[in-house]
Homo-oligomer: A and B are copies of this chain.
């Protein structure tokens, strides 16, 4: 008797439920996202939702998947007007990444916090969509000579993680004015995360500039610190 018969109707109801769940999440945060609350929002009892989703995790997975689709289209629409191959396009991509995280805080948090128990149920691994856009833009910029001739996948992952770090950190810390208590030149008229990213973009861009010493593709797996193996702290968390 569980499960729904008409797949058409099922899909519609599921979409309604996912929509309600994401609204509760955006408005009141993760702890407010209960099955009973979602049910009440769509005019059903909590248990009725189990006709459409196996459990709460499955519902949350769907919300996350929706979030990633929105995320991807958000990134796309942010750079579609900028010609491919330009470094500017890559920088705008990073700016859009930050902006999405700030505008969709709760959403962004669960996207990279909750991991689906069955990864195949989500169309793509978290961030795959966003990463692909990064990769393509980077590859174009490399081909156009605006970024040094390194592996696009590597460079894209680098940019992605850098931008992701800024987004994540600013959601966790709100360091705009608290962590950085000193009065700095670059923070005096209201430090925003977007402003920070603008500044960081210079470091990022300089690190990826073409250089004459030829391409680096990491073939040599260079060690920079002499003792990379040997776990120099043995911090294995015994009791401590």
A185: interface (CB < 8 Å) = yes
**Taking chain A's interface residues, is the majority helix, strand, or loop, or is none over half, making it mixed?**
helix
Set of chain B residues within 8 Å of A96, measured between Cβ atoms: 233
Set of chain B residues within 8 Å of A82, measured between Cβ atoms: 225
The contact size tier of chain A is 35 or more
The answer to whether B113 touches A172 (Cβ under 8 A) is yes
Residues of A95-148 contacting chain B, CB below 8 A: 95-96, 99-100, 103-104, 107, 109, 112-113, 115, 125-128, 131
Query: What are 20 A-B pairs at a CB distance below 8 A?
Result: A70-B235, A74-B233, A77-B235, A92-B224, A92-B225, A99-B231, A113-B113, A125-B175, A126-B172, A127-B172, A154-B186, A165-B166, A168-B168, A186-B218, A186-B219, A195-B221, A198-B218, A202-B218, A203-B207, A207-B207
A binding-site residues for B, Cβ under 8 Å: 19, 23, 26, 70, 74, 77-78, 81-82, 88, 91-92, 95-96, 99-100, 103-104, 107, 109, 112-113, 115, 125-128, 131, 151, 153-155, 157-158, 160-169, 172-173, 175, 178-180, 182, 184-186, 194-196, 198-209, 211, 216-219, 221-225, 228, 231-233, 235-237, 239-240
